[in-house]
Amino acid sequence: MKLSRYPETLAVVRLGPGSEVPGWAESSSIFSVTATATETSVVCAARSVPTKAAARRPLTAFEVEGPRDLALTGVLAGLLAPLAEAEISVFALSTYDTEWLLVPGADAERATEAWRDAGHEVVAAVPVSPAGATGGKSSHPRSGKGSKK
């Protein structure tokens, strides 16, 4: 499998249930909002996250080459096993097209080595701005920022 390593430093931020996405939550190569009945989590660029926020950072993102067929099985298991053996924690996200694996920044090199040792290819990614980007600020409809009127 081929993974692309992104250069940005990311954070996973825990917000309260039903929270709006704060204006400081800047998009990056990946920007994700996940809401449940008990919390709202935001994956965003770490640079603007307040120091007092409940956050896990710094994180480095690896994207699995896609698009991937949603019917495939064992994709995450095959990528997580080498990290488990190397005792590297991971925060996994999936999109419609692919998977993203976020590892602690201090462990990014070890994760790269673990994947390569397991036969996976890891390359440097070149971040791409999404179509309709709003200058780095969130355009998520719940944020109240960057929305078009």
9-26, pLDDT tens digit by residue? 999 999 999 999 998 998
The two structure tokens encoding residue 143: 């944020």
Q: Closest by alpha carbon to 33, among 48, 18, 47, 46?
A: 18
89-98, pLDDT tens digit by residue? 999 999 999 9
Topology (CATH level 3) of domain 2-124: VC0802-like (3.30.2130)
Q: Closest by alpha carbon to 142, among 2, 12, 40?
A: 40
Question: Which residues 6+ apart lie within 8 Å of 132 measured at CB?
Answer: 139
CA dist., res. 149 & res. 147, Å (int): 7
The two structure tokens encoding residue 48: 């603007």
**Residue 135: its pLDDT value, please?**
45
CA dist., res. 116 & res. 82, Å (int): 9
Global pTM value: 0.82
| pLDDT higher than threshold 80 for residue 46 | yes
CA dist., res. 63 & res. 130, Å (int): 15
62-105, pLDDT tens digit by residue? 999 988 888 888 889 999 999 999 999 999 999 999 999 999 99
- Long-range contacts from 29-35, C-beta under 8 angstroms, 24+ separation: 29/61, 29/63, 29/125, 29/127, 29/128, 30/6, 30/61, 30/63, 30/93, 30/100, 31/138, 31/140, 32/93, 33/140, 33/142
Mean pLDDT score of the chain? 86
Q: Closest by alpha carbon to 127, among 46, 29, 59, 31?
A: 29
1-5, 8-12, 93-97, 142-146: which has the minimum mean pLDDT?
142-146
The domain limits of the chain are 2-124
Residues 47, 53, 56, 62: is their CA dihedral positive or negative? negative
| pLDDT higher than threshold 80 for residue 56 | yes
**Residue 48: its pLDDT value, please?**
87
